[in-house]
Amino acid sequence: MTEQSRTDSTDGNKRHYSHTLDLSKGKVEMVHGSGGKAMAQLIDELFLNAFSNPWLDEMNDQACFQLPAGRVVMATDSHVISPLFFPGGDIGCLSVHGTVNDVAMSGAVPKYLSAGFILEEGYPLADLQAIVTSMAVAAEEAGVYIVTGDTKVVERGKGDGCFITTTGIGVVPEGVSMGADRVTAGDKIIVSGSLGDHGVAIMSLRENLTFETTIESDTQSLNDLVAAMVEVVPDIHCLRDPTRGGLSATLNEIAQQSKVGMQVYETEIPVKPQVKAACEFLGLDPLFVANEGKLVAFCPAAKAEQLLAVMRAHPKGMDAAIIGDVIEDDLQFVQMQTAFGGNRMVDWINGEQLPRIC
Amino acid sequence: MKYVDEYRDGGLAREIAAKICAEATPERAYHFMEFCGGHTHAIFRYGIPDLLPDNVKMIHGPGCPVCVLPIPRLDAAIELAVTHGVTLCSYGDMLRVPGSRKRSLLKAKAEGADVRMVYSCMDALRIAQENPEKEVVFFAIGFETTTPPTALVINQAKKLGLKNFTVYCNHVLTPAAISNILESPEVRELGVLPLDGFVGPAHVSTVIGSQPYHYFAEEYQKPVVIAGFEPLDVLQAILMLVRQINEGRAEVENEFSRAVTYMGNSRAKQVVADTFELRRSFEWRGLGVVPYSALKIKDSLSEFDAEKRFIVNYRSTRENKSCECGAILRGVKSPRDCTLFGDPCTPENPLGSCMVSSEGACAAYYSYGRYQERTFATDQSHPAA
Over residues B92-109, the pLDDT tens digits come to: 888 988 888 889 999 999
> How many angstroms separate the CA of residue B268 from the nearest CA in chain A?
21
Name B51's Cβ contacts closer than 8 Å, sequence gap at least 6: A340, A341, A342, B13, B14, B17, B20, B235
Nearest CB among B123, B347, B348 relative to A208 is that of B123
User: Hey, is A159 helix, strand or coil?
Assistant: coil
Give the pLDDT mean for B290-297.
Answer: 96
Closest CA to A115 of A142, A89, A130, A96: A96
Q: Is residue B214 part of a domain?
A: no
DSSP class per residue in A240-309: E---TTHHHHHHHHHHHHHT-EEEEEGGGS---HHHHHHHHHHT--GGGS--SS--EEEE-HHHHHHHHH
Strand partners, A145: A112
Residue A24, burial from CB neighbour count under 10 angstroms (0-12, 13-18, 19+): exposed
At residue A295, the pLDDT reads: 98
Are A65 and A112 in contact, with CB atoms under 8 Å apart? Answer: yes
At residue B347, the pLDDT reads: 87
Are B290 and B281 in contact, with CB atoms under 8 Å apart? Answer: yes
At residue B27, the pLDDT reads: 94
At residue B359, the pLDDT reads: 82
Residue B112 has pLDDT above 90, yes or no: yes
Give the pLDDT mean for B265-290.
Answer: 94
User: Hey, is A28 helix, strand or coil?
Assistant: coil
At residue B384, the pLDDT reads: 35
Task: Give the up-direction half-sphere exposure of residue B32: CA atoms within 13 A in the CB hemisphere.
Answer: 35
Are A209 and B119 a contacting pair at CB < 8 A?
yes
Give the pLDDT mean for A226-252.
Answer: 96
Highest mean pLDDT among A83-92, B279-288, B354-363: A83-92
At residue B53, the pLDDT reads: 96
Supply the mean pLDDT for chain B.
91
Chain A residues whose CB is inside 8 A of the B46 CB are 338, 340-342, 344
Domain count, chain B: 1
Are A152 and A188 in contact, with CB atoms under 8 Å apart? Answer: no
Quote the ipTM score.
0.78
> How many angstroms separate the CA of residue A187 from the nearest CA in chain B?
20
Do you find a cis peptide bond into A83, omega within 30 degrees of 0?
A: yes
Q: What is the CA radius of gyration of chain B?
A: 21
Are B353 and B69 in contact, with CB atoms under 8 Å apart? Answer: yes
Write the pLDDT tens digit of every residue in A144-162: 999 999 999 999 999 999 9
Q: Which of the two residues, B47 and A190, has the higher pLDDT score?
A: A190
DSSP class per residue in B150-166: HHHHHHHHHHHT-SSEE
Quick one: what percent of chain B has pLDDT higher than 70?
Answer: 97
Closest CA to A30 of A121, A156, A164, A117: A121
Query: B74-109 in b/e burial notation, b at 16+ Cβ within 10 A?
Result: bbbbbbbbbebebbbbbbbbbbbbbbeeebbbbbbb
At residue B229, the pLDDT reads: 93
Is the minimum CB–CB distance between B107 and chain A shorter than 8 Å?
no
Closest CA to A150 of A218, A76, A202, A90: A76
At residue B156, the pLDDT reads: 98
Do you find a cis peptide bond into B231, omega within 30 degrees of 0?
A: no
Write the pLDDT tens digit of every residue in B153-186: 999 999 999 999 999 999 999 999 999 988 888 8
Nearest CB among B47, B371, B374 relative to A341 is that of B47
End-to-end CA distance of chain A: 31
Amino acid letter at B182? Answer: L
Residue B376 has pLDDT above 50, yes or no: no
Are A350 and B347 a contacting pair at CB < 8 A?
yes
Q: Is residue B81 part of a domain?
A: yes
Q: Is residue B270 part of a domain?
A: yes
> Residue A289 and residue A63: Cα distance in Å, rounded?
36
Q: Which range marks the domain in which residue B162 is found?
A: 67-174+266-309
Nearest CB among B4, B45, B96 relative to A280 is that of B4
Are B50 and A277 a contacting pair at CB < 8 A?
no
Q: Is residue B79 part of a domain?
A: yes
Chain B residues whose CB is inside 8 A of the A338 CB are 10, 45-47
Write the pLDDT tens digit of every residue in B129-148: 999 999 999 999 999 999 99
Quick one: what percent of chain A has pLDDT higher than 90?
Answer: 81
Closest CA to B195 of B203, B205, B184, B211: B184
End-to-end CA distance of chain B: 40
Are B329 and B186 in contact, with CB atoms under 8 Å apart? Answer: no
Residue A7 has pLDDT above 60, yes or no: no
> How many angstroms separate the CA of residue A208 from the nearest CA in chain B?
7
Residue A45 has pLDDT above 50, yes or no: yes
Chain B residues whose CB is inside 8 A of the A347 CB are 347, 366-368, 370
Lowest mean pLDDT among A210-224, A241-255, B274-288: A210-224
Task: Give the up-direction half-sphere exposure of residue B169: CA atoms within 13 A in the CB hemisphere.
Answer: 33
At residue B320, the pLDDT reads: 81
> Residue B354 and residue B9: Cα distance in Å, rounded?
29
At residue A12, the pLDDT reads: 52
Name B333's Cβ contacts closer than 8 Å, sequence gap at least 6: B324, B327, B384
Is the minimum CB–CB distance between B119 and chain A shorter than 8 Å?
yes
Are A340 and B8 a contacting pair at CB < 8 A?
yes
Nearest CA in chain A to B117: A208
Domains, chain A, in order of start with CATH, read: 7-172 (3.30.1330.10), 188-345 (3.90.650.10)
B378 pLDDT band, cuts 50/70/90, is very low
At residue B93, the pLDDT reads: 83
Q: What is the CATH number of the domain that holds B87?
A: 3.40.50.11740
Q: Which of the two residues, A191 and B333, has the higher pLDDT score?
A: A191
Write the pLDDT tens digit of every residue in A284-319: 889 999 999 999 999 999 999 999 999 999 999 999
At residue A283, the pLDDT reads: 78
Write the pLDDT tens digit of every residue in A99-143: 999 999 999 999 999 999 999 999 999 999 999 999 999 999 999
B382 pLDDT band, cuts 50/70/90, is very low
> Residue A91 and residue B270: Cα distance in Å, rounded?
49
A3 pLDDT band, cuts 50/70/90, is very low
Give the pLDDT mean for B264-268.
Answer: 95
Nearest CB among B47, B119, B374 relative to A340 is that of B47
At residue A13, the pLDDT reads: 57
Are B50 and A341 a contacting pair at CB < 8 A?
yes
Nearest CA in chain A to B126: A208
Residue B40 has pLDDT above 70, yes or no: yes
Name the DSSP class of A80.
-
Write the pLDDT tens digit of every residue in B298-313: 999 999 999 999 998 8
